């Protein structure tokens, strides 16, 4: 059996190589830790940006909803004026109808929807039944709209006040 003996120089060389490997391994571990930390910080920052963008959009939508809520009485007044004029085709009536339609079209482009059409199926989420009359069939249908309701970007601002048949 032969035993290999290392000279002191060879042993020092192996210790130096070993310590270099240990230092390199520690450096790689630190690098991996810093890389994972940087990735976590990047992910947190991306989530923060998304949350802030969502919060800004929500605030803008709420602000728009407040403005539209303030305009609802104006729309109701237009609806009453249209009902008052009926089939009268005076110049004033035409101008009023055009102004009303212009306002409705502008608000619809921004996300306003009118709720409550006679003949559609009653939905308690968007309609407020204030009168009920007997009708044919088992399905409840809107018989008459007493006050139009409005939805702003998917959120009901005011349910339609309706008379239900069925």
Comparing CA positions, the residue from 60, 148, 58 lying closest to residue 104 is 148
Residue 126's pLDDT is: 86
Domains (ranges, CATH) in the chain? 112-166 (2.30.22.10)
> Tens-digit pLDDT profile for the chain (166 aa)?
555 555 555 555 566 666 776 777 888 888 899 999 999 999 999 999 999 999 998 888 888 889 888 999 999 988 888 888 777 678 888 888 888 899 999 999 988 999 888 888 888 888 888 888 887 777 888 888 888 999 988 888 899 898 888 7
Calpha distance 16→1 (Å, rounded): 29
Residue 105's pLDDT is: 93
Residue 6's pLDDT is: 55
Locate 115 and state its tokens: 């709720």
Residue 155's pLDDT is: 87
Tally of CB atoms within 10 A around 64: 16
Return all residues near 82 (Cβ < 8 A) that are at least 6 apart: 96, 97, 100
Grouping H, G, I as helix, E, B as strand and the rest as coil, residue 49 is helix
């Amino acid at each position: 059996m032969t035993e290999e003996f290392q000279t002191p120089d060879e042993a020092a060389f192996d210790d130096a190589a070993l310590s270099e490997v240990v230092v390199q391994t520690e450096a790689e571990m630190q690098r991996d830790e810093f890389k994972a930390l940087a990735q976590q910080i990047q992910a947190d920052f991306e989530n923060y940006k998304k949350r802030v963008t969502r919060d800004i959009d929500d605030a803008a939508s709420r602000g728009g909803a407040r403005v539209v809520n303030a305009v609802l009485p104006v729309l109701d007044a237009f609806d009453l004026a249209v009902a008052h004029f009926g089939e009268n085709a005076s110049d004033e009536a035409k101008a009023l109808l055009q102004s009303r339609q212009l306002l409705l079209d502008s608000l619809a482009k921004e996300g306003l929807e009118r709720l409550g059409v006679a003949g559609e199926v009653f939905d308690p989420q968007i309609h407020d039944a204030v009168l009920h009359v007997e009708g044919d069939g088992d399905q409840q249908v809107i018989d008459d709209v007493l006050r139009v309701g409005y939805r702003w970007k998917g959120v009901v601002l005011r349910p339609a006040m309706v008379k239900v048949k069925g």
